[in-house]
Structure 1
Amino acid sequence: MDSMITAAARALATGDPLGALKRVALRDDAAALALRGIAMAQLGDLARAKILLRQAARAFSPREAVARARCIVAEAEIALVSRDLSWPVKALEAAWAILEARGDRMNAAHARNLTIRRLLLIGHLDEAEHILADLDPSPLPPPARAAHELVVANIAVRRLQTENARNAFARARHAAGQAGIPALIAEIEDAARALDAPAARLIAADSDRLLMLEEVEALLASGDLVIDACRNGVRMGSTTVSLATRPVLFALARGLAEAWPADASRGALLSRAFRAKHADESHRARLRVEIGRLRAALRLVAEVRATKDGFALVPHESRRIAVLAPPVEEQHANVLALLADGEAWASSALAIALDASPRTVQRALEQLAATGKVQAVGRGRACRWMTPPLTTFPTILLLPGPLPGD
């Protein structure tokens, strides 16, 4: 490796893409193309960066497998930043295997971090933690170690483990300070704000107030019966009942919980669950059927008792009941929660992250665009959707993933 390539690589490692381009901008050899691609990515021109990295990967000879694998890892990072979740994951796995086998531990760890970050975006926390457990950050240089700790912190935030998250953010800040890269420091500070922003709204018999993430963790650990409207589930202690695929049952559970300690009238439950303005005998018959299903679903945590006017929710062990709701409740809140990261998302990537059909996501985006809550950038396959960050929006609890404690 000649001195100009070495100098350019060092400039990129310290977050100086312009310094790197000054050294290799006029060169077309494989190593220079790769460094130019990384520099363009750092400057934000992701389309040009992707082209340069692909050219570099083709230019390296078959004997330069490590260099080609590094190009694939860099392209995978661009795909992740541009929210191209359809990018071939198997290519990244193959690149990681080559880097690990050839002893390039730093880039192998970076490849693993990218895999974990992608899993976090689509809500596969268990898989992300499994990969993270096998990753040793001790030999990593400060920038890679900061990225590793940022992943650890993000998993802890999604798991509602606020103390672990704060410790991980502190370690990430320390490593980023050693690296001296302003963009990395800013990324960590931006992610850490989730710990100090409203995450949910508590609706109980004697209160209706905003909760920070730490307070949400305490509520879920309190043993009270919690109707979680952020994840559409019911929780008491270590027992969790998911109603995410049963919206009618969840609507009934929430209606009963908001009426507690009193009962909820049949008319109120019909209106909430079935949106029936004028209930007839068929509606009342269906309500009885759905209440029976709700009894069966909640048998481990509560009873649903019939009263003179309607039904009442009675938790086991005389526990209190609380409803955990998003600070802002509106249609398509889960789409807005993903877009609140400030990145430009493709509708196909949103569909992958939400595990929904592309047409369902497209309809949601069109409705949100009609009200000015999101905007489209580009056309056709290059179309991306984005929205300014909403500082009071529940970006953590509405993101895809298992219920806290699962």
Structure 2
Amino acid sequence: MDSLITAAGRALAAGDPLGALKRVALRDDAPALALRGIAMAQLGDLERAKALLKSAARAFSPKEAVARARCVVAEAEIALVSRDLGWPQKALRTARATLQGHGDRVNAAYAGSLEARRLILIGRLDEAERLLAGFDPTPLPPVARVAHELAAAGIAVRRLRTKAARAALGRAALAAYEANIPALTTEVENASLVLKMPAARLIAQGSERLLLLEEVEALLASQALVVDACRNVVREAGAVVQLATRPVLFALARTLAEAWPADASREALLRRAFRARHADESHRARLRVEMGRLRAELGAFAEINATAQGFELAPRRAREVVVLAPPVEEEHGAVLAFLADGESWSSSALAIALGASARTVQRALEELSGQHKVQPVGRGRARRWMTPPMPAFPTVLLLPGPLPSD
């Protein structure tokens, strides 16, 4: 074993990329290229890191399958941090299978954590949960445990399981402390902020207030009738009526809920649902039709009664009607929500995460840029978008152990 390669690998595992570069910066053999690539990634030069890792993967012989697979895992983490959601996940799955087949349990587990975190970003929580289910990270080194626990926390947060999220983040913080890598500790601390920041607004009886994530969880578990503007659904005691594909009906339901226990005027309903400034008889006729459809959808939850001024919502069982709305509501709010994680996103990655067309996302980014709410970095295909100011890059990449065939 090359002593300089071993020393450089240990420096990277300890979060010291400069120390690793001092040992291998002038070498162009495959193990040195791989270690230089990871060091450059830790220092934030992702383009150079990707080029070095690709060169390393080509330089390793076909017999050195484990080393090549580790390079793929490192490339996958760079893609995740770069929000390159179009990066070929099949390559990561193949690398994970190779690592498992050769007994490299640590890097195989890390590859699984990366795949789960990508699935979480694009909202495929069931797949991410299945990927992590039944896996015990306890025997893993601290850095790998942090990756696993951050993925588990991400799923728990999106499932509104704040107790499980807090426990996973606590385990991640303990593992980061054991690893004694400041950048890793910072990453866990940043992930933990989601439990301390407003997650939604509660609108009820003419007033509103911000809610933390655990308060949202408690609200959805209560007996209140909740018109959820974060998901465009209506909820009560675990039962859900989906209105995400019926925006007019949801707009009417929200207007009625915001007015409860009073009635909502026809003018207010027409403005919210049809954006009609001056209502005529055709608008009023359509309002009656849509109200009939909403009655059918919410029949198990509430009655909708006509009044002299408009319509009122009368819950059947719930004692309270509330609206759960995003913390900030504005045009292109979903784009801003993804950019709020502090990372740089490409327009194509945002389109994948939002389930929207690339052109729609590009128009939104251009409008937000004109309002100085987002800023572009780079040009052409390398252009990324982020919220100013530009944050630091704390993620630690893992490629432990000897790189040549062993």
TM-score range (shorter-chain normalised) is: over 0.9
Matched residue, 2:267: 267
- Shift of residue 282, structure 1, vs aligned partner: 1.3
Matched residue, 2:204: 204
Q: Which is worse superposed, 33-42 or 258-267? A: 258-267
Matched residue, 2:402: none
- Whether contact under 8 Å (1:340, 1:389) holds in the other structure is no
Matched residue, 1:287: 287
Percent of aligned positions that are identical: 72
Aligned counterparts of 1:198 and 1:389: Cα–Cα separation in 2:
21
Q: Alpha carbons of 1:365 and 1:206: their partners in 2 closer, same or farther (altered >3 Å)?
A: closer
Aligned AA (2:90): K
Residue deviations 1:118-159 (CA, integer Å, cap 9, x gap): 011101111111111043212210111112111111211111
Matched residue, 1:356: 356
- Shift of residue 328, structure 1, vs aligned partner: 1.8
Matched residue, 1:193: 193
- Whether contact under 8 Å (1:374, 1:386) holds in the other structure is yes
Q: Which is worse superposed, 380-389 or 209-218? A: 380-389
Aligned counterparts of 2:318 and 2:34: Cα–Cα separation in 1:
64
Q: Which is worse superposed, 23-32 or 308-317? A: 308-317
- Whether contact under 8 Å (1:233, 1:241) holds in the other structure is yes
Matched, 1:92 2:92: yes
Matched residue, 1:300: 300
Gaps of 5+ in 1: 391-406
Matched, 1:13 2:27: no
Query: Looking at both structures, which has the greater relative contact order when contacts are Cα pairs under 8 Å and sequence separation is at least 6?
Result: 2
- Shift of residue 206, structure 1, vs aligned partner: 6.5
- Shift of residue 212, structure 1, vs aligned partner: 1.1
Aligned counterparts of 1:101 and 1:11: Cα–Cα separation in 2:
27
- Shift of residue 389, structure 1, vs aligned partner: 7.7
Aligned counterparts of 1:299 and 1:389: Cα–Cα separation in 2:
48
Aligned counterparts of 2:160 and 2:237: Cα–Cα separation in 1:
14
**Secondary structure of the equivalent of 2:84?**
coil
Matched residue, 1:401: none
Residue deviations 1:80-119 (CA, integer Å, cap 9, x gap): 1001001001111111111111110100001000101001
- Shift of residue 305, structure 1, vs aligned partner: 2.1
Residue deviations 1:218-267 (CA, integer Å, cap 9, x gap): 11111211111122111111111222222111110100001111111211
Aligned counterparts of 2:63 and 2:318: Cα–Cα separation in 1:
69
Aligned counterparts of 1:363 and 1:206: Cα–Cα separation in 2:
34
- Whether contact under 8 Å (2:206, 2:259) holds in the other structure is no
Aligned counterparts of 2:254 and 2:335: Cα–Cα separation in 1:
22
Matched residue, 1:330: 330
Aligned counterparts of 1:293 and 1:388: Cα–Cα separation in 2:
44
**Secondary structure of the equivalent of 2:328?**
coil
Aligned counterparts of 1:147 and 1:387: Cα–Cα separation in 2:
25
Matched, 1:154 2:161: no
Aligned AA (1:140): L
Matched, 1:145 2:151: no
Residue deviations 1:30-69 (CA, integer Å, cap 9, x gap): 1111111011100000000000000011111111111111
Aligned counterparts of 1:237 and 1:125: Cα–Cα separation in 2:
22
Q: Alpha carbons of 1:109 and 1:238: their partners in 2 closer, same or farther (altered >3 Å)?
A: same
Matched residue, 2:253: 253
Matched residue, 2:71: 71
**Secondary structure of the equivalent of 1:173?**
helix
Q: Which is worse superposed, 80-89 or 299-308? A: 299-308
Matched residue, 2:401: none
Aligned counterparts of 2:135 and 2:245: Cα–Cα separation in 1:
35
**Secondary structure of the equivalent of 1:314?**
strand
Aligned counterparts of 2:64 and 2:374: Cα–Cα separation in 1:
44
**Secondary structure of the equivalent of 2:199?**
strand
Q: Map 1:155-234 to 2 at 5 A.
A: 155-205=155-205, 207-234=207-234
Aligned counterparts of 1:143 and 1:200: Cα–Cα separation in 2:
32
Q: After TM superposition, what 4+ stretches of structure 1 lie above 4 angstroms from structure 2?
A: none
- Whether contact under 8 Å (1:341, 1:389) holds in the other structure is no
- Whether contact under 8 Å (1:239, 1:301) holds in the other structure is no
**Secondary structure of the equivalent of 1:313?**
strand
**Count of equivalent residues:** 390
Q: Alpha carbons of 1:104 and 1:168: their partners in 2 closer, same or farther (altered >3 Å)?
A: same
Matched residue, 1:366: 366
- Shift of residue 303, structure 1, vs aligned partner: 2.2
Aligned AA (1:253): A
- Whether contact under 8 Å (2:223, 2:318) holds in the other structure is no
Q: Which is worse superposed, 253-262 or 241-250? A: 241-250
Aligned counterparts of 2:118 and 2:220: Cα–Cα separation in 1:
27
Aligned counterparts of 1:300 and 1:50: Cα–Cα separation in 2:
55
Aligned counterparts of 2:135 and 2:19: Cα–Cα separation in 1:
32
Residue deviations 1:250-308 (CA, integer Å, cap 9, x gap): 11010000111111121110111011011111111211221122122222322222223
- Whether contact under 8 Å (1:202, 1:208) holds in the other structure is yes
**Secondary structure of the equivalent of 1:23?**
helix
